[in-house]
A and B are shown apart, each in its own frame.
Chain A
Amino acid sequence: MASISLQNVTKRFGDVTVVEDLDLELEHGQFTVLVGPSGCGKTTTLRMIAGLEETSGGRILVGDVDVTGLEPKDRDIAMVFQNYALYGHLSVRRNIGFPLKARGVAKEEIDLRVTEVAESLSLTHLLERLPGQLSGGQQQRVAIGRAIIRQPKAFLFDEPLSNLDAKLRLEMRTELLRLQRQLGVTAVFVTHDQEEAMTLSDKVVVMRDGRVAQQGTPASVYAEPADTFVAAFVGSPTMNLLPGEVADGVFRSATPGLVLPTEGMVPGPVILGLRPEDALLTPGGSDGTIDLVELLGPRAIVRVRCAEIALTTVVEGSALAGITEGATVGVQARPGSLHAFDPDTQQRR
């Protein structure tokens, strides 16, 4: 196990800079998630750590070793690909044992370790099958087994859950987290799904256009997004971002419709951030009409229209009485929950 350190790492494809001057510390034993929209450079970053992509500048350290110029095979890092990349012509047993065989480990030792790993992943009864005869979830477990068998310095995961159906994805997410805690390994996980990022990570790195937009614990990124991009990207449903102006301790939206009291907010133009769960539908405040109610079970996403402003709110199941489409409600913000962003720089104030 080891920490991974990226220092001023840059990647260019021709004239296009995909990753620019990236500095990242991925700490020993931590589960770090790189998250961002498509094309933000997260997968390229992962591939550079694995050695599958050469860097155009900067250094990559695994532990104290500079691995920047090393072949993937010499980095001692395991990787799980999005499509699992199982060897279709080899049995599950030989797939899992492959990294050991490639390193010339004795056959008896390989057999022993494969048996151990297969047991820990409930794959024992499938060992003689070919990957083509397995379900998606089973293939996923084989890919994980192949990654953990040689106890590498770090694990890299490239969107490994995105090919699974919703139920299995949740199960595998829990299993991955349990496995990582149990083995105490350094893990880097790439996803475009912010919910996956929030639930899995010790540390989340939000990327945008090849740069780090923000990094920190999931709770801190959620509570204090650094700019409007992170604010809109992290959290589901998306944060309401409302341009307007603060004057005399009150926020007035630029498009008329919403007036909210603000405590201690600097007067002047602002982009106000309001998380859907912090928008309260109670009597008083601005008037709104309920456009749409999407029931999720324990809670509902409620779209409210305040004059010309469309607002997304989340209402707990217990408070849903009287929340029906077409009903008139009052809209208020939970005290102390407002986020303020600079309209020019989009940065948090």
Chain B
Amino acid sequence: MTGSRKISQWLTNALLIFAVFMVGGPFLWVLLGSFKTEQAINNPLQLLFVPTLENWSIVIEGGSFTRFGILSAQVLPPAVLVFPFLAMAYALRLNDTLVAVTVAHISLVLPVVTWFLIGFFEAVPKEIEEQAQVDGLGRFAAFRAVVLPQVAPGLGAAAVFGFVLSWNDLFYALILAPGNAKTLPVAIAGFNTFRGVQLGAMCAAILVSVVPVLIASFFVQRRLVRGISGGSLKY
């Protein structure tokens, strides 16, 4: 190895270390910060300190840990998740079926919809549910009779949201069911053939695919507006 190559190798390494530090540094700081007390956290250079679990207990007891846990799958890129799904689908002989796509979509849609609905449920005062219990209902009956109707607009919106998310997905559907059970987005992508793109047919297919979304949104939007304005009550 010549001297100049050595220097260039050394420079490359130095740059890489610098890059790693730039990316990893903030994470390291956050990691350390999560174990620091309020006083110690104000000194970012302080590497020696008595660690505390207080911050973690706040997050876990406050429920936000579970809340973020629900979304943890969303942190991973779909490409990481789709191959285990494909392997499982093969093992269960479910490849190229809508069942495989449905299961994959549930893992994708359910956390997002759950997250979306948390706010709606939190907006219903706890007293409503308690009042129904005092009025003579069991816990679940109270939930069904007075809490669910209050979040109905939210449920509708979440339904459309989840539907659109699933309806428009190309990636999972393309890999899990590219053949006989292909979904609309996969079929639309199919107009891009090795002979070129059949633009006209693709446009028509796109319009067809938009119609159900529009219809669903229309009905839910009407209910959503009525639900929010009609039954609203200041607590």
A222 contacts chain B at the CB level, 8 A cutoff: no
Within 8 A of B (CB), among A64-82: 71-73, 77-79, 81-82
Q: In angstroms, how far is the closest chain A Cβ from the Cβ of B229?
A: 9
Q: Which residues of A contact B231 (CB under 8 A)?
A: 88-89, 130, 132
B207 contacts chain A at the CB level, 8 A cutoff: no
Q: Are B230 and A52 in contact (CB under 8 A)?
A: no
Q: In angstroms, how far is the closest chain B Cβ from the Cβ of A295?
A: 35
Interface size class of B (residues with CB under 8 A): 20 to 34
B146 contacts chain A at the CB level, 8 A cutoff: yes
B217 contacts chain A at the CB level, 8 A cutoff: no
Query: Known contacts A83-B125, A83-B127: does B232 contact A88 (CB below 8 Å)?
Result: yes
- Complex-state Cα separation, A52 to B128, whole angstroms: 12
Pick the most buried of B133, B230, B232: most chain A CB atoms within 10 A of its CB.
Answer: B133
Q: In angstroms, how far is the closest chain A Cβ from the Cβ of B125?
A: 6
Contact with B along A160-185 (1 / 0, CB 8 A): 00000000000000000000000000
Kindly report which residue of chain A lies nearest to residue B133, judged by CB atoms.
Answer: A72
Q: Are B150 and A88 in contact (CB under 8 A)?
A: yes
Pick the most buried of A51, A79, A88: most chain B CB atoms within 10 A of its CB.
Answer: A88
Query: Known contacts A81-B127, A86-B233: does B134 contact A103 (CB below 8 Å)?
Result: no
Q: Are B233 and A73 in contact (CB under 8 A)?
A: no
Within 8 A of A (CB), among B117-163: 125, 127-128, 130-139, 141, 145-146, 149-150, 152
Report which of A52, A86, A88, A131 forms a contact with B134, defined as CB distance below 8 A. Answer: A52
Q: Which residues of B contact A150 (CB under 8 A)?
A: 136
Q: Are B135 and A98 in contact (CB under 8 A)?
A: yes
- Complex-state Cα separation, A87 to B136, whole angstroms: 14
Within 8 A of B (CB), among A146-205: 146, 150
Report which of B125, B128, B136, B149 forms a contact with A73, defined as CB distance below 8 A. Answer: B136
Kindly report which residue of chain A lies nearest to residue B139, judged by CB atoms.
Answer: A71
Kindly report which residue of chain A lies nearest to residue B137, judged by CB atoms.
Answer: A102
Report which of B132, B139, B233 forms a contact with A102, defined as CB distance below 8 A. Answer: B132
Report which of A78, A85, A103 forms a contact with B127, defined as CB distance below 8 A. Answer: A85
Q: Which residues of B contact A343 (CB under 8 A)?
A: none
A50 contacts chain B at the CB level, 8 A cutoff: yes
Contact with B along A212-225 (1 / 0, CB 8 A): 00000000000000
Q: In angstroms, how far is the closest chain B Cβ from the Cβ of A153?
A: 12
Query: Known contacts A86-B233, A88-B231, A132-B233: does B136 contact A81 (CB below 8 Å)?
Result: no
Q: Which residues of A contact B145 (CB under 8 A)?
A: 102
Q: Are B135 and A146 in contact (CB under 8 A)?
A: yes
- Complex-state Cα separation, A50 to B130, whole angstroms: 10
B194 contacts chain A at the CB level, 8 A cutoff: no
A99 contacts chain B at the CB level, 8 A cutoff: yes
Q: Which residues of B contact A52 (CB under 8 A)?
A: 130, 133-134
Q: Which residues of B contact A85 (CB under 8 A)?
A: 125, 127-128, 130-131, 235
Q: Which residues of B contact A81 (CB under 8 A)?
A: 127, 130-131
Q: Are B146 and A71 in contact (CB under 8 A)?
A: no
Q: Which residues of B contact A71 (CB under 8 A)?
A: 133, 138-139
Q: Are A77 and B134 in contact (CB under 8 A)?
A: yes
- Complex-state Cα separation, A50 to B132, whole angstroms: 12
Q: Which residues of A contact B134 (CB under 8 A)?
A: 50-52, 72-73, 77-79
Q: Are A132 and B232 in contact (CB under 8 A)?
A: yes
Q: Are A87 and B125 in contact (CB under 8 A)?
A: no
Kindly report which residue of chain B lies nearest to residue A78, judged by CB atoms.
Answer: B134
- Complex-state Cα separation, A92 to B120, whole angstroms: 23
Q: In angstroms, how far is the closest chain B Cβ from the Cβ of A97?
A: 10
Kindly report which residue of chain A lies nearest to residue B230, judged by CB atoms.
Answer: A130
Q: Which residues of B contact A103 (CB under 8 A)?
A: 136
Q: Are B135 and A99 in contact (CB under 8 A)?
A: yes
Q: Which residues of B contact A82 (CB under 8 A)?
A: 127
Q: Are B233 and A88 in contact (CB under 8 A)?
A: yes
Q: Which residues of B contact A50 (CB under 8 A)?
A: 130, 134
Kindly report which residue of chain A lies nearest to residue B235, judged by CB atoms.
Answer: A83
Q: What are 15 A-B interface contacts by the 8 Å CB criterion?
A: A71-B133, A73-B135, A77-B134, A81-B131, A85-B125, A85-B128, A87-B128, A87-B149, A98-B135, A102-B132, A103-B136, A131-B233, A132-B230, A132-B232, A132-B234
User: A-contacting residues of B (Cβ < 8 Å)?
Assistant: 125, 127-128, 130-139, 141, 145-146, 149-150, 152, 230-235
User: B-contacting residues of A (Cβ < 8 Å)?
Assistant: 50-52, 71-73, 77-79, 81-83, 85-89, 98-99, 102-103, 130-132, 146, 150
Top-6 shortest CB links A-B: A102-B136, A88-B233, A85-B131, A85-B127, A99-B135, A88-B231
